[in-house]
Amino acid sequence: MDIDRRNLLDGPGLVTAAANPPIRPSTRSRPRPDARRRFHQQPAPRAGEARSRLMTKLSHILFATLALAAAPLAAATAAGPAVQATDAWCRATPTGALAGGCFVTLTAARADRLVAVSSPASNHGEIHTMEVVDGVMRMRQLADGIELPAGQPVALRPGARHLMLIGLKGPLQAGDHVALTLRFQSGTQMTLQAEVRAAPRPARAS
């Protein structure tokens, strides 16, 4: 996406009305220009910890192997999936809209983190949060994804955290279904069929 890259670096777009103080990123959502780092960066090793790190790594590998082996079984047992997803839906988009919001409620059996979303309906997927503060709408990408505490349902919903489909290949029309692939820090990956619904009334702005 050369165009996006160029836009991202463009200066003149960064404008605030002179009569207003410049908007500051909210403390809750630090801007992360280098969002891709999270996939590559490991904490710097410390000399004395090499041995224990090796052990940890081995135990991780062992655990991962067991988890992988157990995965097909898990689906068939009463233990249930690692992350349960309910009420997945996307907001119907107007013709010409190139971005759309999707929502889902996630419950992780063990503490986990939603780290990525993708869909065949769009070129890209991002995890965003949104808020209206003093009449100003602020949207931020959550580069660290969304924390999922063990056993606790986390609801993504309009006016708050949501999945953002960027570069829609066509409008999302009410009644259609959109495949959403969610990736979690644990390595779990799932594909959902999200129903496209006409926009509900948003909660009144507080």
Q: Residues interacting with another protein, by CB under 8 A?
A: 1, 4, 7-8, 10, 12-20, 22-23, 25, 31, 33, 35-36, 91, 93-101, 123-124, 126, 128, 130, 132, 135-141, 143, 158-159, 162, 164, 166-167, 199, 201-205
Q: Please, which residue, 81 or 158, has the CB nearer to another protein?
A: 158
Q: Please, which residue, 48 or 135, has the CB nearer to another protein?
A: 135
- Minimum distance between the CB of residue 64 and another protein, rounded to whole angstroms? 27
CB 14 within 8 A of CB 22: no
Helix, strand, coil percentages (3-state) for the chain, rounded to 5, are 20, 35, 45
- Minimum distance between the CB of residue 20 and another protein, rounded to whole angstroms? 5
Q: Please, which residue, 111 or 199, has the CB nearer to another protein?
A: 199
Amino acid at 132: V
Amino acid at 70: A
| CA 172 to chain centroid | 19
Dihedrals φ, ψ of 164, to 5°? Answer: -110, 120
